[in-house]
Amino acid sequence: MKTIIQRTCFLFTVLMLPVLVVAQRVHTGKVTDDSGEILIGATIGVKSTENFTTTNEKGFYTLTLKVGDTLVCSYVGYKTAEVVYRQASNLTIRLESNVKELDDAIVIGYGSKIRQEVTGSISEIKMDKITETQVADSFESMLQGKVAGMNIQLNSGEPGSTPTIIIRGLAAVSRGDASSVSEPLYVIDGVPIISRSSDEFNITSTNVLADLNPSDIDDVVVLKDASAAAIYGSRAANGVILITTKKGKRGKPQISFNARTGINFVPQLLDVAGGVKEREQVSRLYQLYAPYGVSMPAMYTDITNPFYNNSSDWQGYLYNTSVTQDYSGSIRGAGDFGQYSISMGHMDNKGILFNTGFKRYSTMASTSFNALKNKVVINNTLAVSRTNQSRNVGALSTGFSSLLPLPDAPVVKGAEVFKPGKDSNVNDRIRFSSDATLNVIKDLVYKVSLSLEYTRSMHDSLGVSRRTLRASNTSGNLESRNLLFQNTVTYSPKFGDGHSLSFLLGQSAEKIETKLTEVSSVSAAPTLSETVKWPTGNSIGSSNYTASSILSYFSRLDYAYQQKYMIGGSLRADGSSKFGQANRWGIFPSVSVGWNFAKEGVFEGMDWLVNGKIRASHGISGTTWSNDYLALGIMDGGKLDQYNSLLMISYGGIAGFSPSWYDGFKNENLTWVKSQMSNIGMDVSLFRNKVEFVFDAYEKLTKGLLLTTSLPTTSGYNEVYRNAANVLNRGLEFTVNTNMSSRKQFNWNTGLNFALNRNRVVALPDGNADIIKTSTSGQDFGSVVRTGAPLNGFFFYQSQGIYQTEDQIPVNPKTGARLVGLQSKKLAVGDRNFKDQNGDYIIDVRDRIFAGDPNPKWTGGWTNDFTYKNFGLNVISTFVAGRKIVNTALLDRLKYGKGFAGTKSMPNFDNYSIWEKSGDMAKYPTLNPWNDASQIVSYDSEYIEDGSYFKIKTATLSYNLKPKMLSRIGVGRARVYCTLDNLVTFQKYSGPDAELITIDGFDDSKGYPMRRMMLFGVSLGL
């Protein structure tokens, strides 16, 4: 597959190299801006021919011209100039600086709009400079800290893992263990793509968007408020991310190549007590708490046993530095015929943990042809990519006891750390989209587009137990197809003096199908074959299919008068197959208004105010959920249990259906989740665009979130689904961009953005009754969904220290019975002293208080870009403030059950104040492993910490080589750079990295820390 792509591209480049016809006289000239400053790299050439070149570092160009040729010269940020060549010897072309730089269009849904006339809250990020000097599994991590109100957090250091993206606050209520995230909609070149697979269908946990090569992306536009996103109505409530890929530009074909290698360093790891320290800690716990007759395992008592004579640092052995490589090349060009762009990329990111890594092979070809004298433009895009995430068979633990010898110790020579077998996760994606734009009559454009996206994930795992020689291999194949057919008619006449109208009418039909086939076999005899062999052992296969389709009609009307007063509105109707017949359609209107006050007469004289606009918008957009057939009341045929047995599927060989106990029964009136969002904003740019200031205030009320209420156990059902919860998100967003360029070729521009967000649950079913995230039988998450409190708010038991003496345990005067502890435990000295809020002498869910909000108050980023002559220093940092989190990773390591000794590594108890005897003023209660119920619980207000952090994410030092040297070897421009990634994190959090905290505020990094990377690279442009 890969080699075919390489060969076709090579052939293409050979064909495409234009051959210059040398007939006329060679001529030199200079290109300068209106103040005489030379312009390096301006493209200049003879119109409607191939004869184009760029100006060198002195601003000179050489061209072969004959009298009468019209020269076309263009440069970013300047107006394109056309000059007819008479006979003057050195022709200096002066380009007028394009003051109205704001005029270049910005991509919005289904078309583009002049920046002046934009009335929604839209942020644009130019990706070119970022992707040139940074490497990442997925482009999302490169957007960190770039857009106000968009908080991106990586949850695990494992290569290829999925980051969490939340735009303008969380708007998803979840009852079960996994907390659902309100994900934005991703659109590439106008086509919505598959960005997440639902849990039921997620067989390779690779990030679905990791197969998009960041170097292919030209710019990313984030539509944040309802009016901007309304055009994507039915899935745009959580924001839309419009991705535009790089296209060819006029002039010489732009051939670029970028090669970089990075070294990943191991960061701070979990603290471990080794050797005798572990023995002391284990024997201390046994000595303090072990009941009569229970003795330590033989590995601790048999001190002369040579096998356990170790103090092994397992993390040191399993984590070590690794190498990341990334190569990408592209050929792009444009002419009168249209444009072409071919790019290829390969990334090999080895993880710092043994045997983990992420590879990506991607290629993309996009062409557009102007036919019928520019009446019809046909664009075609074909993107093929494959990602391969390698992982260990059965999660490799890094937490073995330090008494066990390391695999390279002589006593266990020849032993392997991993179970024999393989675990391969390969994801392919083929994206084909083609559209034809027909300029019917002046200002009337009809566009029809068809796109087909096909993703396939293959998970093959083989695990062989050396002892029982049992080989169990599973092979899963997930295919999903996304078919989209869109028709839009746009009529945008300009009339009178400065009136401009734009009317869009469109229809789109989309169908998403997902098919999962899983086959597994457990065979007694070792098959050692990696594919599932039928009839050996018991082989079981199951397949699952789901599909949903959306039909939409949308329209938009925008009117602008002399780019001073703007008003826009859109109306959209969407039907989805996920809902019952009765309420399948949702109506999503939006309206927006803008006023460019800087153009008013009164501001005429003030040249320091370059541009100023006030805008407001209000609109409704929607979201659905991943389960496609919820409203139809599906039955459940049962699925394989954790050992691939059919106990849940058949009885005596006969299989049948039962209700799906979790989704409850048929519920006709499930419908769209609708978000009402209103947004007021102001964009101001001053001092000839040296300072740009954007301010936004928004309020988003999400109504009818899907929520379950639990049913009595005697019904047999667990839950029934209803559109029931409303969540309110309010926030402010500030962005300040400054670019100071002084004479001596030094300029420094910064991008500072910060956003405040507060979310609150406003309505719940059953008369706003509280919803405990899991049932009350004790082992729950500690979050309660309560009206008036933030989502995922911490509802913990209020800790009042530890019971130091017997008489501190309160006794109920009426019954003489003592306070009953959590999970009805009989309280003893050393247990956690929780406050009995309602005084009923029982600690249960009614005694919980609101203890903290895991949703970050302030999020933002600060980017600094210094350029001095040929040097460039770029520092990107992100910060989160006002967030409460819990270090559950550490708490899980302190929860000891009766079989704790020797099964996992122990933290060094000296670092933590742990209670042992009465009188100890300690933070952690007794660790008694034989206690009826463990006293270390994650929903204890004692362990709440401040989750704010300031992280310098990347620092890049780059140097542009002098073109003089390069031209000898035929290279147009070259840049050498060194980037440090995940440089340093300033935090008060006790765990390794405050960024690896999930949205519900718990440390879920599963022990895979975030690596630090030092990257060296060179980027060439011919």
Position of tokens 């991590």? 141
Encode burial over 119-150: b for 16+ CB neighbours within 10 A, e otherwise.
bbbbbbbebeebbbbbbbbbbbbbbbbbbbbb
Of 762 and 933, the one with the shorter C-beta distance to another protein is 933
Q: Does 904 bind another protein (CB under 8 A)?
A: no
Q: Does 805 bind another protein (CB under 8 A)?
A: no
What is the C-alpha separation between 291 and 931, in angstroms, rounded? 10
Of 101 and 719, the one with the shorter C-beta distance to another protein is 719
What is the C-alpha separation between 440 and 459, in angstroms, rounded? 49
Please pick, from the candidates 452, 957, 961, 1022, the single residue that binds another protein as defined by CB under 8 A.
957
Query: What is the closest distance, in whole angstroms, from the C-beta atom of residue 951 to another protein in the complex?
Result: 13
Q: Residues with Cβ < 8 Å from 556, sequence gap 6 or more?
A: 110, 230, 231, 502, 503, 504, 568, 569, 570, 571
Of 66 and 869, the one with the shorter C-beta distance to another protein is 869
What is the C-alpha separation between 962 and 57, in angstroms, rounded? 8
Residues 906-925 that bind another protein (CB under 8 A): 908, 910
Of 459 and 578, the one with the shorter C-beta distance to another protein is 578
Please pick, from the candidates 445, 501, 509, 828, the single residue that binds another protein as defined by CB under 8 A.
509
Which of 523, 408, 386, 503 is closest to 456 using CA atoms?
386
DSSP secondary structure letters along 306-328: GGG-----HHHHHB--EEEEEEE
DSSP state of 970: T
Q: Does 667 bind another protein (CB under 8 A)?
A: no
Q: Does 278 bind another protein (CB under 8 A)?
A: yes
Residues 396-435 that bind another protein (CB under 8 A): 400, 404-405, 407, 412, 414-417, 419
Please pick, from the candidates 311, 325, 434, 583, the single residue that binds another protein as defined by CB under 8 A.
311
Token pair for residue 834? 């929780």
Q: At 723, which helix (H) or strand (E)? A: strand 719-741
Please pick, from the candidates 90, 295, 742, 838, the single residue that binds another protein as defined by CB under 8 A.
295
Q: Does 176 bind another protein (CB under 8 A)?
A: yes
Angle at Cα 698 formed by Cα 696 and Cα 703, nearest 5°? 160
Binding mask 456-475 toward another protein (x if CB under 8 A, else -) reads ---------xxxxxx-----
Which one of the spans 99-107, 244-252, 647-655, 847-855 is the region binding another protein (CB under 8 A)? Answer: 647-655
Encode burial over 833-853: b for 16+ CB neighbours within 10 A, e otherwise.
bbebeeeebbbbbebbeebbb
Of 419 and 564, the one with the shorter C-beta distance to another protein is 419
Binding mask 194-233 toward another protein (x if CB under 8 A, else -) reads ----------------------------------------
Please pick, from the candidates 36, 68, 291, 496, the single residue that binds another protein as defined by CB under 8 A.
291
Q: Residues with Cβ < 8 Å from 76, sequence gap 6 or more?
A: none
Of 632 and 732, the one with the shorter C-beta distance to another protein is 632
Which one of the spans 71-79, 105-113, 310-318, 880-888 is the region binding another protein (CB under 8 A)? Answer: 310-318
> Considering Cα of 275, then 281, then 285, then 288, what sign does the dihedral take?
positive
Q: Does 940 bind another protein (CB under 8 A)?
A: no
What is the C-alpha separation between 659 and 665, in angstroms, rounded? 7
Q: Does 283 bind another protein (CB under 8 A)?
A: no
Q: Are 976 and 958 in contact, with CB atoms under 8 Å apart?
A: yes
Of 308 and 796, the one with the shorter C-beta distance to another protein is 308
Q: What is the dihedral of CA 43, 47, 48, 52, to 10 degrees?
A: -30
Binding mask 578-597 toward another protein (x if CB under 8 A, else -) reads x-----x-------------
Please pick, from the candidates 511, 533, 564, 758, the single residue that binds another protein as defined by CB under 8 A.
511
Please pick, from the candidates 277, 690, 758, 904, the single residue that binds another protein as defined by CB under 8 A.
277
Residues 430-449 that bind another protein (CB under 8 A): 438, 440-441, 446, 448
Residue 449 identity:
S
Q: Does 986 bind another protein (CB under 8 A)?
A: no
Would residue 970 be called left, alpha or beta, if left means φ above 0 and alpha means ψ between -120 and 50 degrees?
A: left
What is the C-alpha separation between 723 and 361, in angstroms, rounded? 42
Residues 825-884 that bind another protein (CB under 8 A): 825-826, 871
Binding mask 69-108 toward another protein (x if CB under 8 A, else -) reads ----------------------------------------
Sheet bearing 217-223, strands edge to edge: 122-126, 217-223, 240-245, 185-188, 191-192
Please pick, from the candidates 335, 399, 778, 972, the single residue that binds another protein as defined by CB under 8 A.
778
Q: Does 669 bind another protein (CB under 8 A)?
A: no
Position of tokens 């879920």? 1004
Binding-site size for another protein (CB under 8 A) equals: 155
Which one of the spans 120-128, 182-190, 308-316, 964-972 is the region binding another protein (CB under 8 A)? Answer: 308-316
Q: Does 903 bind another protein (CB under 8 A)?
A: no
Query: What is the closest distance, in whole angstroms, from the C-beta atom of residue 844 to another protein in the complex?
Result: 8
Q: Does 538 bind another protein (CB under 8 A)?
A: yes
What is the C-alpha separation between 254 and 6, in angstroms, rounded? 18
Beta-sheet pairing, 658-659 with 673-686: unpaired
What is the C-alpha separation between 800 and 960, in angstroms, rounded? 61
Helix/strand/coil for 17: coil
Q: Does 507 bind another protein (CB under 8 A)?
A: yes
DSSP secondary structure letters along 169-219: S------SSSPP--PPEEEETTEE------GGG--S-S-GGGGS-GGGEEE
Please pick, from the candidates 48, 92, 374, 650, the single residue that binds another protein as defined by CB under 8 A.
650
Which of 748, 1017, 867, 960 is closest to 132 using CA atoms?
1017
DSSP state of 826: B
Q: Are 579 and 549 in contact, with CB atoms under 8 Å apart?
A: no
Query: What is the closest distance, in whole angstroms, from the C-beta atom of residue 989 to another protein in the complex?
Result: 16
Residue 566 identity:
M
Q: Does 62 bind another protein (CB under 8 A)?
A: no
Please pick, from the candidates 41, 659, 882, 972, the single residue that binds another protein as defined by CB under 8 A.
659
Q: Residues with Cβ < 8 Å from 744, sequence gap 6 or more?
A: none
Of 420 and 882, the one with the shorter C-beta distance to another protein is 420
Query: What is the closest distance, in whole angstroms, from the C-beta atom of residue 686 to another protein in the complex?
Result: 33
Query: What is the closest distance, in whole angstroms, from the C-beta atom of residue 695 to another protein in the complex?
Result: 35
Q: Does 668 bind another protein (CB under 8 A)?
A: no
Query: What is the closest distance, in whole angstroms, from the C-beta atom of residue 182 to another protein in the complex?
Result: 22
Query: What is the closest distance, in whole angstroms, from the C-beta atom of residue 430 to another protein in the complex?
Result: 23
What is the C-alpha separation between 105 and 108, in angstroms, rounded? 9
Neighbours of 320 (CB within 10 A): 12
Q: Does 894 bind another protein (CB under 8 A)?
A: no
Please pick, from the candidates 85, 201, 265, 565, the single residue that binds another protein as defined by CB under 8 A.
265
Please pick, from the candidates 13, 70, 198, 268, the single residue that binds another protein as defined by CB under 8 A.
268
Please pick, from the candidates 3, 35, 90, 713, the single residue that binds another protein as defined by CB under 8 A.
713
Binding mask 131-150 toward another protein (x if CB under 8 A, else -) reads --------------------
Q: Are 496 and 562 in contact, with CB atoms under 8 Å apart?
A: no
Encode burial over 672-683: b for 16+ CB neighbours within 10 A, e otherwise.
bbbbbbbbbbeb
Q: Does 928 bind another protein (CB under 8 A)?
A: no
Reduce the secondary structure of 463-484 to three states and give it as a string. Answer: EECCCCCCEEEEEEEEEEEEEE
Q: Does 372 bind another protein (CB under 8 A)?
A: yes
Token pair for residue 64? 């072969």
Q: Residues with Cβ < 8 Å from 748, sequence gap 6 or more?
A: 739, 740, 741, 864, 865, 866, 867
Binding mask 607-636 toward another protein (x if CB under 8 A, else -) reads ---------------------xx--xxxxx
Of 341 and 437, the one with the shorter C-beta distance to another protein is 437
